[in-house]
Amino acid sequence: MKFQIATIATAVLFVLAAALSGEHRGPALAGAAIAGLTAVVSILAMGRATRSSLGTKGALAVMAVLFLVRLVLVGVGTVLVGRAGAVPFVIAFFVPYFAFTAFEGAFLHSLRRLGTTA
């Protein structure tokens, strides 16, 4: 549960930081929102998968599927914000994304200590 709470809190903080980004607020908010929402969905789905019969393999599958979803969303978002907002969008997406990937990796690592294996 601590990884889910940390992910949600971090997502909110990144979205608030993007809201304060001045003239590039729109693209930055879009990037931070996409990163935050997909991270929250991912960490919650990973927790649910580990409680199912799939265990750690299910959590890994969730992580892989959400990676592909993020890949598509960042491409679509970059096109939609256009040339003027692409850099703020990409920065506001990838900075939180790397933080969220660390949370997801730490969550998977914590499953190892519980005795579940992939």
Reduce the DSSP state of residue 6 to 3 states and report it. helix
- What is the C-alpha separation between 19 and 26, in angstroms, rounded? 8
* Residue 8 confidence (pLDDT) above 90: yes
The pLDDT tens digits of the residues spanning 52-80 come to 888 888 989 999 999 999 999 999 999 98
The pLDDT tens digits of the residues spanning 11-62 come to 999 999 999 988 889 999 999 999 999 999 999 999 999 988 888 889 899 9
Are residues 74 and 90 in contact, defined by beta-carbon separation less than 8 angstroms?
yes
Are residues 23 and 56 in contact, defined by beta-carbon separation less than 8 angstroms?
no
Q: Which of 52-61, 91-100, 103-112 is most confident? A: 91-100
The pLDDT assigned to 112 comes to: 76
* Residue 116 confidence (pLDDT) above 60: no
Return the domain boundaries, the chain.
2-113
